[in-house]
Structure 1
Amino acid sequence: MIISQTPEGGGYRIKKLAGDASLRKYYRVNHGSDSFVLMHTEPFEESSYDTLLVHNFLERAGVPVPKMLAVEGVKGTILQEDLGDRTMLHQLAEAQGAENFEEIETALFKESLRLLADFHSSTAKPQGEKPVPGFSLAFDEEKLLWEVDFTIEHLFGSYLKRGLSEKEQESIRTPFEDICRRLAAEPRVFTHRDYHSRNLMLPESGTSHDGKLVCIDFQDARMGLRAYDLASILRDSYYQLSEEKVYALVDYYFDLAKKEEAGIDRAHFIKMFDLMSVQRNFKAIGSFTSFYGKRNDAMYIRFVGNTFENIRRNLAKFPEYKELRKLLFRYYYF
């Protein structure tokens, strides 16, 4: 057994932690001066469990991830190192009001983008080589459009309780088909898929990660365009950056990526970033409203408004999607 099953047994102290948006449960396990985190989920086959496969691949590639200390697939448990409670989002919140907040904010986001650029470059593999199942999966047109349909179902059905006619659904879906087609045609890298301020831990200095950002929640990684992860972090539903800073940071990442991938055009890259932000934010709204509809979990509903505003602002940069912007605005706000 990884741990005693009772808090009093064997000198263990066990405390339930706030979970993520999944059904996984997390516990802090203290034993003397040692501290660990236990993840509990449904039983799984260790040799084919995505969390373990992706973790081991990323660890070998040099991407900072939590150390896995013990695994019992039959019990659905993984014991891993304790990175503490401080996420990048927590650090940003704590810094609010500081005289040098702008410098702290910029430094944190630049660190996250250096890590992202390293993630994309260190996981690159020759064509045809597929070290983990995610290399056989991609944000192709079908997958991107599936995410759009998912959001249409849950935003208008589960949350707004607004029945859309077939014609209304097609008026939303048709321009998104074009958006997804354009995005799917872009070159692909191995993406984290959920790269944002809540999925970047900031352990204390002096730990094995020496106070540097560490990736978590990477089990759904798959192939996609660079802008997918970039939109996730810079157009984060949980944290709003000024548009001026967003584009300064896009430039910062672009210069890092250009070292690895020659021939990237800056203007086109920025345009695809804005377009990816529309689709990525739309999918985030689908996730938030599905939690509400499926699990009666309203915790994420408060992020829908900011995320919707991101979509409206970015669609305004594409005259060809003017009607989509008007439709979404009308259906959501009225």
Structure 2
Amino acid sequence: MALSTPDLIPPPHAPAFLAAQGWPGATILPLAGDASFRRYFRVRDGARGAVLMDAPPQHEDSRPFLAMAAHLDAIGFRAPRILAHDLAAGLILIEDFGDLRMAEAVADRPEHEVDTYRAAIDLIRALHAHPAAATIGRYDDAVYRREAALFPDWYAPAVGLDVDVEGYHDAWTAVLGRLDREPVVTVLRDYHAENIMLLEDGDLGLLDFQDALAGHPAYDVVSLLQDARREVSPELETAMLAHYGPIDGTAYAILGAQRNAKILGIFTRLWKRDGKNRYLAYQPRVWRYLERDLAHPALAEVRGWFDMHVPTRMRAAYWATPA
């Protein structure tokens, strides 16, 4: 049975948590939910403000979020300050970064798109200059393959395709063998325009970094420049790759294809399992990115699998009139 989209009614234990942390009687207002079980509320107490994250411990382990926030802060990046937390209750009180996300800022003022993306590239390039965080695991082939498997596990059956799963895994094994393993940096894994905040002091704030792993720098670059949630033109993508500086084009294509295949599976799972239909609108864009990545010669085996098992009508065209 599909789960309903989480409501934005504060958890009943939130007022007691806030009171214990010095925020008695604070107003709790709905802010947002996301693709996980986490929910966010804006907390107001006179002139003070913060954001309350509700991350039910039976579904979400918030320790990686706390550790990565501390790491980013220690090396000079703007993660929300942690004001208080109770992991057993699944509640974390964090700094409020405001409402101006990069996605909306660029949509409202497209003349600033290039400059804003340039700043986001500068940030991720600066992060890549630091050694990978000591507390995170490795983004290795086993993780890449497990993520890519979301496509045959969720997407294929949802659109009525009976595919060769073993052949899919074999194709990815061959392609991932061409991926250079160096350098290894902190990979935020969801670095895109809806997770980057434009702060009042001109800095960029980072959100949604709890799943960070140590891996190839091309991954976060492709996450930003092949954004599932907003259109990034090929011209802007090319310009920002040049701004980043030398980057392994083979790694960029391989990790782009891996990420986009994963996202097609995730968005289908959000629809089928969790009842979050809004993600279906992004599928055609993700398909366009994926097909651009598959055109790279290093993706020959994976491209061949898609050509054999996924007809054109079951790709972007399918989502024009989703089931």
* TM-score with structure 1 setting the length: 0.81
The 8 Å contact of residues 312 and 325 in structure 1, kept in 2 or not, is answered as: no
Residue identity in the other structure for 2:128: H
Residue of structure 2 in register with 1:41 after alignment: 55
Q: 1:151 to 1:35 in 2, by over 3 A?
A: same
1:158-169 alignment runs, 5 A limit: 159-160=158-159, 162-165=160-163, 168-169=164-165
CA distance, structure 1, for counterparts of residue 270 and residue 72 of structure 2: 29
CA distance, structure 1, for counterparts of residue 195 and residue 311 of structure 2: 30
Residue of structure 1 in register with 2:155 after alignment: 155
CA distance, structure 1, for counterparts of residue 202 and residue 43 of structure 2: 21
Residue of structure 1 in register with 2:296 after alignment: 317
Q: 1:186 offset after TM fit, Å?
A: 4.4
Residue of structure 1 in register with 2:284 after alignment: 305
Residue of structure 1 in register with 2:116 after alignment: 108
Residue of structure 2 in register with 1:260 after alignment: none
The 8 Å contact of residues 183 and 225 in structure 1, kept in 2 or not, is answered as: no
1:200 aligns with 2:208: no
Q: Which consecutive unaligned segments of at least 5 residues does structure 1 have?
A: 256-265
The 8 Å contact of residues 150 and 261 in structure 2, kept in 1 or not, is answered as: no
Q: 1:184 offset after TM fit, Å?
A: 6.2
Deviations 1:123-172 (A, max 9, x none): x05xxxx631x1xx222111111111122111112x32x2415xx33443
Q: 1:282 offset after TM fit, Å?
A: 1.0
The 8 Å contact of residues 185 and 216 in structure 2, kept in 1 or not, is answered as: yes
1:23 aligns with 2:26: no
CA distance, structure 1, for counterparts of residue 85 and residue 221 of structure 2: 32
CA distance, structure 1, for counterparts of residue 311 and residue 234 of structure 2: 20
Q: 1:53 offset after TM fit, Å?
A: 1.2
Residue of structure 2 in register with 1:258 after alignment: none
Residue identity in the other structure for 2:269: S
Residue of structure 2 in register with 1:79 after alignment: 93
Q: How many residues align?
A: 294
* TM-score with structure 2 setting the length: 0.84
1:207-226 alignment runs, 5 A limit: 210-226=201-217
CA distance, structure 1, for counterparts of residue 56 and residue 181 of structure 2: 36
Residue of structure 2 in register with 1:131 after alignment: 134
Q: 1:63 offset after TM fit, Å?
A: 1.5
Q: RMSD over aligned Cα, in angstroms?
A: 2.4
The 8 Å contact of residues 176 and 254 in structure 2, kept in 1 or not, is answered as: no
Q: What SS class does the counterpart of residue 28 from structure 1 fall into?
A: strand
The 8 Å contact of residues 195 and 206 in structure 2, kept in 1 or not, is answered as: yes
Of 229, 237, 242, the residue aligned with 1:246 is 237
Higher helix share: 1
The 8 Å contact of residues 179 and 250 in structure 2, kept in 1 or not, is answered as: no
CA distance, structure 1, for counterparts of residue 272 and residue 176 of structure 2: 25
Residue identity in the other structure for 1:31: D
Q: 1:283 offset after TM fit, Å?
A: 1.1
Q: 1:231 to 1:57 in 2, by over 3 A?
A: same
CA distance, structure 1, for counterparts of residue 266 and residue 235 of structure 2: 28
CA distance, structure 1, for counterparts of residue 250 and residue 77 of structure 2: 28
Deviates more, 1:318-327 or 1:216-225: 318-327
Q: Which consecutive unaligned segments of at least 5 residues does structure 2 have?
A: 1-15, 319-323
Residue identity in the other structure for 1:81: E
CA distance, structure 1, for counterparts of residue 218 and residue 62 of structure 2: 29
Deviations 1:177-234 (A, max 9, x none): 222222364432111111111111112x2xxxx1321111111111111111011000
